[in-house]
């Protein structure tokens, strides 16, 4: 995984990569849950 160090100052940090991967997975999970329900969050439409 040393090739990833080319665009990161200070080299490749496994903990930062793990945190980024976890945040992406969490974003996908939240998007999958909230995506079909976005119309329910529209306040003006529920009036």
Cβ 5 vs Cβ 12: under 8 Å = yes
Which residues have CB under 8 Å from 4's CB, separation 6+? 12, 17
Q: Which tens digits make up the pLDDT trace of 9-23?
A: 666 677 878 888 999
| pLDDT tier at 2, thresholds 50, 70, 90 | low
Q: Which tens digits make up the pLDDT trace of 21-44?
A: 999 999 999 888 888 777 777 677
* Cα 21 from Cα 26, distance rounded (Å): 9
- Tell me the pTM: 0.53
């Amino acid at each position: 995984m040393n090739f990833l160090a080319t665009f990161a100052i200070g080299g490749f940090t496994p903990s930062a990569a793990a945190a980024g991967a976890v945040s992406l997975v969490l974003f996908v999970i939240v998007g999958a849950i909230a995506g079909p329900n976005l119309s329910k969050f529209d306040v003006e439409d529920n009036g």
